[in-house]
Structure 1
């Protein structure tokens, strides 16, 4: 044993100071958390107050809309104005009818031209036209080809 040393184990001063610092940090964090909780409670109260005010505003707005919808507005239309409005509507309908008839006639004319062009193609045998003999020949050739491919795949 050395001079000035006691019989007890060594005491770790740094560890003790660290634990005291940790306790003070925990206390600071707890007080900070308490402040945040108080701020959140105040914010919640303010938010609830705003919701109540918004509800009052919406209710008042709905009441105003209902009141305006229930009011009747009296109006009179002069017979001459009503007659001229009726004439305008009638002229509009007649004009649209004329435009639709002109469009229909143009479409019928285009359809006739198209039918005539197809008839000319048929008369000159243009396009792809297969007789029954060539269709049968093509089907037989395709069948033989498919059989050959299948037999080749099986034998391989």
Structure 2
């Protein structure tokens, strides 16, 4: 539709103008969005460049530390070797004089006697505790047998039971074998 003002001026198409205005508005909004994204990409790029530089600095520092540690290890190896050599030389060149006097032997014998006495008392205590436990166990077993609780087999009956179980198992095995 066109609005005509006069016959001399051409008619203006309002729908076309509105479409063009909307399109230019959309283009402007997309431009602003693209500019924002471009700014974000530039910021991210700058951050990545800074991180890359920091990583390179860290790698360089790590290399320097590794070289320093290697030098320290080499130096410590040299120091340890020198100390070992000094100890070996001192052991080789030093002569120790050792004398044992009869008083020292008497002291040693006294200490050994005391240790033997201490062990004898410990063993006697242990033996008495074991005997006490054994008498308690025997007493408990007598109580059980008096009340007819528990099972007790003599050697003879245990042998009879074992022979019976063996014969029973062999017979059962033969029956199964013959049936199949």
2:129 match: 107
How is 1:1-156 mapped onto 2 (pairs within 5 angstroms)? 1-2=13-14, 5=17, 10-11=23-24, 12-70=27-85, 71-72=87-88, 73=91, 74=94, 75-80=96-101, 83=105, 86-87=108-109, 90-91=112-113, 93-118=115-140, 120-121=142-143, 125-126=146-147, 128=149
- CA offsets per residue over residues 120-147 of structure 1, 9 Å max, x none? 5267x1362579xxxxxxxxxxxxxxxx
Determine the structure 1 residue equivalent to 2:5.
none
Q: Which runs of 5+ in 1 are unaligned?
A: 132-156
Please give the alpha-carbon distance, in whole angstroms, between the structure 1 residues aligned to 2:60 and 2:98: 56
Q: How many pairs were matched up?
A: 130
5+ residue gaps, structure 2: 1-12, 153-180
RMSD of aligned residue pairs (Cα, Å)? 3.9
Q: CA 1:119 to 1:18, structure 2 compared with 1: closer, same or farther past 3 Å?
A: closer
**Higher CA-based Rg:** 2
